[in-house]
Structure 1
Amino acid sequence: MTEHEAPEAASDFMTPIDKVLDGIALLCRVITGVSIVVLTVIFGWLVFGRYVLNATPTWVEQAALLLVMVITFLGAAVGVHEHTHLSVAAFRTAAPRWLRMIFVVCSDIGMLVFGLLMLIYGAKLTAFKWGSMIPLIDLPEGLRSLPLTIGGGLIMLFSLAHLVRIVLGRDLRSDTIQ
């Protein structure tokens, strides 16, 4: 049982939604994990090529930039889903429960709006840049901003799910109920 599942009725409409969101978060974790491994391997190839073969593979930098975008934005979305993203909880923790709930709701609304803006403007940027190619790896330039778009949509989706759980009284995040 994940942190956001309440031990109540299994017929709750959020249960299948939570399973889908958990599956999406797991897929994002797998993609970011594989991306980190690939990033490590290609940088190993870069070092080997430069110092052993005396022939630097020039495509590594461009591929690394793409992988860093994937790791950053999908990883941030997972952090929102699992409530492990960077936050300053000092005021929330010191506040009384009723005020703490207001802080949590405002934080979730802020994250939802931020994710929506990332989605909208990331999609515009992706569409704008899709026609040009990334030098050395010959992939569409829009791939650089596609993780921004996807990550923004996921941040929005995960934040909305947090808000729905709060409204239903099923939010079990520790900073909400401490």
Structure 2
Amino acid sequence: MSSYFDQISDQDAEATPKTLLDRFLDGIAHFCIIVAGVLMVFMVITFGWLVFGRYVLNDTPTWVEQTSLVIVVYITFLGAAAGVRNNSHLAIDFVREGLPAFPREIMRYIADLFVTFFGFFMTWQGWQLVMENLSRPIPIIGFSESWRAAPLVISGVLMVLFSCVNIAQRLLKSREV
């Protein structure tokens, strides 16, 4: 006996068959969400340790704050990259969806191009930050400051990849019609 959600996903799969590339990119986006989720759980546990250490042991672990700042950056940027793949990123859809088909498609291309350019810029600037901060340690935890900038590069590359694939797939669909 299948559940309601299985039936919906089966119907979606029949409506739009996924290519090997789609499954691979969906897997990358899903992996980003899993990593972000695991990091979120780790952050909650470390804050629990912070509260326990401060109020029960009367010995505050100082590393929690700096570690959490690094983790928040990874959670945010990995989630943003997955959002581009899943088309759940920040967008104002009601204006676009209220337009006729042709301008709506043009606006979708424009949105993907903006995400692509933003991803390139984020990758380039993030890479500069990584390279400039290799020898600077994060206070208290001692890791390189580059660890804070690395998610910019990772997320930027993924955003460019995901948005370029969206553009290419949309162009291929329009040629088939």
1:4–1:72: structure 2 CA closer, same or farther, 3 Å change rule?
farther
Q: Tell me how far apart the structure 1 counterparts of residues 160 and 13 of structure 2 sit (CA, whole Å).
A: 17
Match of 1:67 in 2: 71
> What's the TM-score once normalised by structure 2's chain length?
0.87
Deviation at 1:5, TM superposition (A): 9.2
Out of 31, 34, 39, the residue aligned to residue 27 of structure 1 is: 31
CA RMSD, aligned part only? 2.0
Equivalent residues in 2 for 1:77-156, closer than 5 Å: 77-156=81-160
1:114–1:4: structure 2 CA closer, same or farther, 3 Å change rule?
farther
Higher helix share: 2
Where structure 2 has 5 or more consecutive residues not aligned to the other structure, the ranges are 1-8
Match of 2:56 in 1: 52
Match of 1:173 in 2: none
1:18–1:4: structure 2 CA closer, same or farther, 3 Å change rule?
farther
AA at the equivalent of 1:133: P
Q: Deviating runs (4+, > 4 A) in structure 1?
A: 1-6
Percent identical among aligned pairs is 42
Say which structure, 1 or 2, has more relative contact order (CA 8 Å, 6+ apart): 1
Deviation at 1:7, TM superposition (A): 3.8
Aligned residues: 165
Deviation at 1:145, TM superposition (A): 0.5
Q: Tell me how far apart the structure 2 counterparts of residues 99 and 5 of structure 1 sit (CA, whole Å).
A: 28
AA at the equivalent of 1:24: I
Where structure 1 has 5 or more consecutive residues not aligned to the other structure, the ranges are 171-178
The answer to whether the 8 A contact 1:134-1:140 is kept is: yes
- The secondary structure found in structure 1 opposite 2:140 is coil
The answer to whether the 8 A contact 1:5-1:18 is kept is: no
Deviation at 1:87, TM superposition (A): 1.2
> What's the TM-score once normalised by structure 1's chain length?
0.87
